[in-house]
Amino acid sequence: GESVGLHLPTLSVQEGDNSIINCAYSNSASDYFIWYKQESGKGPQFIIDIRSNMDKRQGQRVTVLLNKTVKHLSLQIAATQPGDSAVYFCAEMANTGFQKLVFGTGTRLLVSP
Amino acid sequence: ETGVTQSPTHLIKTRGQQVTLRCSSQSGHNTVSWYQQALGQGPQFIFQYYREEENGRGNFPPRFSGLQFPNYSSELNVNALELDDSALYLCASSLGPGLGTEAFFGQGTRLTVV
C-alpha cells in the first residue's frame, strides 16, 4: 500500500563516516526510483535517481543500489558531513502516464561533528 | 533554490472554511503536482496538472481541487476544511508528466486548521 510510518527511524553517524539509508518499496511495477533530502522547513530536494533496468548508480558522494528481487533500495553517502543532516525519503514511480511519486518512510540522518 | 515558489508560507484556517494555495512553477515547466505532507510522514500525492488539465489523482476527496493556468502556475483549493487537513502542502513542477522527468519541489505552505 501507500502508507508511511508515523515514527521516523533515525541514523546517527560521526562526521566522515559512511552512511547507509535503506528503503523497502511496495510496487513491483515501479520503474523509477528517487532519493530526496528534506531539511527542516524546506521541500524535498532531489539527490539521485535510478531506473529499474539498473542496479547501481553513482553520483557525487552518493550511490544508490536497487534490488528488485526483494524490492529494496539503499542510499550510501560517503564521508558524511554535518550538512547532510536531514530527513531522507525514497520515492517510487510507476509508468502510469502521470508522475505519481509514492514516498517511503523517511529516515532522519544526524551527523555529529 | 528550485525556482518553484509557493504562497503563502504559513496559513491558519478554521474548520469548515475554504483555502486556496498557490504555486509558480519553474520556468519552462508545464507540469505541476501537489502533495500533502503530514507531520512525521512522507508526502502523499494529491493530483497532477499537465497543460491546464488534471491528468492524475491520488486518494483524496473531491473537496480537494485544483487549477492550472496558461502560464502553468497552479492553485490547490480545499473546501470544508477538517482538522486532519493540517499539513505541509508541497508543489512540484517538471518539464513533463513522463517517467523519469525530475520534479522540483517548492518550500511548501504550512496549513494549520483549528
Q: Which of A27-31, B70-74, B90-94 has the lowest mean pLDDT?
A: A27-31
What's residue B96's pLDDT? Answer: 85
In the numeric block, which cell numbers belong to residue B62?
Answer: 473531491
Per-residue pLDDT tens for B4-41?
999 999 999 999 999 999 999 998 899 999 999 999 89
Say whether residue B53 is in contact with chain A using an 8 A CB cutoff. no
Rounded CA-CA distance A86/A107 in Å is 8
Q: Which of A56, A55, A54, A52 is nearest to A31 (CA)?
A: A52
Are A101 and B43 a contacting pair at CB < 8 A? yes
- Is the predicted pLDDT of residue A3 greater than 50, yes or no? no
Q: Are B92 and B105 in contact (CB under 8 A)?
A: yes
Taking residue B35's Cβ as centre, other Cβ atoms within 10 Å add up to 27
Rounded CA-CA distance B92/B105 in Å is 4
Per-residue pLDDT tens for A34-81?
999 999 989 999 999 999 999 999 999 999 999 999 999 999 999 999
Split at pLDDT 50, 70, 90, the class of A7 is low
Distant-in-sequence, close-in-space partners of B70: CB < 8 Å, separation ≥ 6:
B52
Q: Are A24 and A72 in contact (CB under 8 A)?
A: yes
For cell 505541476, name the residue: B32
Q: How far is B16 from chain A (nearest CA, A)?
A: 26
Say whether residue B105 is in contact with chain A using an 8 A CB cutoff. yes
Per-residue pLDDT tens for B76-100?
999 999 999 999 999 999 988 877 7
Rounded CA-CA distance B15/B79 in Å is 10
**Section A83-110 average pLDDT:** 90
What's residue A6's pLDDT? Answer: 43
Rounded CA-CA distance B78/A108 in Å is 30
Return contacts of B50-54, CB within 8 angstroms, 24+ apart.
B50/A98, B50/B96, B50/B97
- Is the predicted pLDDT of residue A4 greater than 70, yes or no? no
Angle subtended at Cα B37 by Cα A18 and Cα B30, rounded to the nearest 5 degrees: 95
- Is the predicted pLDDT of residue A5 greater than 70, yes or no? no
Residue of A nearest to B38 (CA): A6
Q: In what order do the strands lie in the sheet with B74-78?
A: B5-7, B19-24, B74-78, B64-68
Q: Which of B63, B4, B18, B45 is nearest to A94 (CA)?
A: B45
Say whether residue A99 is in contact with chain B using an 8 A CB cutoff. yes
Q: How far is A97 from chain B (nearest CA, A)?
A: 6
